[in-house]
Amino acid sequence: MQANPNPFQIIPKQIFPSLIKLPPVHQSPSPVPTKPPRAISISTPNETNRGPITISTLDVVDDSVAAFWDYQFLFVSQRSEQTEPITLRVVDGSVPSDFPSGTYYLTGPGLFADDHGSTVHPLDGHGYLRAFKFDGFGEDVKFMAKYVKTEAQVEEHDPLTDTWRFTHRGPFSVLKGGQKVGNTKVMKNVANTSVLRWGQRLLCLWEGGDPYEIESETLDTIGRVGLIDGCDSEVESRDRGGGVWDVAARLLKPILYGVFKMPPRRLLSHYKLDARRNRLLMVSCNAEDMLLPCSNFTFYEYDSNFKVLGKQEFNIADHLMIHDWAFTDTHYILFANRIKLDVVGAMTAVCGTSPMITALSVNPSKATSPIYLLPRSPNENVRDWRVPIEASSQLWLLHVANAYENLDENGNLEIEIHASACSYEWFNFQKLFGYDWQSGKLDPSIMNINGSQRKTLPHLIQVSINLDVNGSCQRCDVEPLNQWNKSSDFPVINPAFSGSKNTYLYAAASSGSRSALPHFPFDMVAKLNVLTKSVLTWSVGSRRFIGEPTFIPRGSEEDDGYILVIEYAVSVQWCYLVILDSKRIGGEDALVARLEVPKHLNFPLGFHGFWATAE
């Protein structure tokens, strides 16, 4: 992966606060600035938790320096919790009187550095749950925020002194101030990736273990929830055919389960809600699949009381890393993000001198992208699901917005999938978000490589598959959605249309207006009409970024609703909750309201959110 010349290498390190890490200083032909740029104020708790460190300056420097600092502010640790609801101040517009009663939950990492010299990758940061509660009368919006009290969080945080000491390595990190060699505490369940309200239960999910249940009003952690059963060796042996990989799995299990304490099956953090059937769909895979060229997936379907209505297992003879997936009325859909074992990386990872993720790397050996269509019904035998559909272009799937199907009068099945994807060239396990585990520092240039070819960077795609009456693939096309060529991710739709044909899609995107940060972080919301191929946008403004948008239905029309999105005003270190009118995106009156989170509660970039109506 070739990066652009790094404009961030000139940043000085001597004035940088201890909780934010800088890349190494290199010689520059121009004078090296020794202070942050104009209008930037750095305020973050120091390692001894004695209050904020504040640095300000009036020096004028070029935008590449400001861009570096702006990027760091997205990942500033927030150690404070807001345990009692506080009312947010409206600074622009007003909360509409017809805004429904409910709560917007947002999860993500909250802590990236302890008090003993260790930093962690954003994906390994402890889950920090934020809640924005609307009263339904267009008036008060209450805010709370608490850490998810996972087993790792309880072990690593001392509530009496309010200090932290990392003891778990986490899959993407190593420890500098803790036990490094021989540390088998790898699977650090931080419950920081997604949040779900289903069947009157609020759950925070992570990619590698059980979800944690949260009390929805107080945000107190109730405890870990075992939604999936244990490992069924008889079924696995049958599916693998009892061959060499089954023998390898049997040898790995005592090590992974006993030594590294990995759960036999890890529940993926991305779930799906089948709006038509009112079902929750989830999927798990086996721990040993991370190291073997075969993948075992188990799909579960729950009713609103968490009763299992369906369960199916599929073994795929390929080494895959699945983060998100899709479903239709008759199929589960997996895009085969192909990976391979790195033997040298695996050896150093086991020894504790590198993250566990260094044992894996992407596998771009195929020019095509296999797509597996797995039947939701065990009686569906039209085609052999073990044979994937081969998309002609190579892509790494990131997030799915929606998928739906249509059976025509001749019995041909048409499947449409809207998602975000990137290239194998761009995706790098060891450099996600620009984190360097060796230095413990963030480099925004990694997320902003040369994007002259739009298929390299994260972008929105439309996948069209046509199967004949016998299940044979007649067509599989992949093209940029609406020919939109801006870097984009976190696609969402009106949840009432999940699994059904939709017209509108919303995503976080980059305007590309800032040369130093042209592709990430995102600074605008894009609204795409897949029928007219139009794209309308709302931009947050200069030196301000956004996270994932969330659609709140208002009326019966598909695009009649509101968009909630968090604005990270890094230039002033402030967070805002923004309400947009989804019908007005593209116009000057799209902004309905902006609500201010108190500055001392400024929080880092969140991952995925969920809107829960009061009912």
Please state the residue numbers annotated as binding site for Fe cation. Answer: 323, 399, 608
Q: Which DSSP category does 268 fall into?
A: -
Q: Are 324 and 272 in contact (CB under 8 A)?
A: no
Structure tokens at 284: 């798990």
Neighbours of 556 (CB within 10 A): 7
Q: Which DSSP category does 428 fall into?
A: -
Question: How would you write 297-310 as a 3-class SS string?
Answer: EEEEEECCCCCEEE
Structure tokens at 126: 């402890």
Q: Are 428 and 1 in contact (CB under 8 A)?
A: yes
Please list, residue by residue across 206-215, b when 16 or more beta carbons sit within 10 angstroms of its beta carbon and e when fewer do. Answer: bbbbbbbbbe
Q: Which DSSP category does 8 fall into?
A: T
Q: Are 173 and 343 in contact (CB under 8 A)?
A: no
Burial of residue 106, with CB atoms counted within 10 A of its CB: 0-12 exposed, 13-18 middle, 19 or more buried: buried
Beta bridge partners of 102: 134, 613
Match 């009112």 to its residue by tokens. Answer: 278
| Cα–Cα distance measured from residue 452 to residue 602, given in angstroms and rounded to the nearest whole number | 34
Q: Following DSSP, what letter does each residue of 67-106 receive, concatenated?
A: HHHHHHHTT------EEEEEEPEEEEE---TTPPSEEEEE
Residue at 14: amino acid letter: Q
Binding residues: 323, 399, 608
Run of H or E including 35? none
Q: Is the peptide bond before 521 cis (omega within 30 degrees of 0)?
A: yes
Run of H or E including 72? helix 63-73
Q: Are 350 and 370 in contact (CB under 8 A)?
A: no
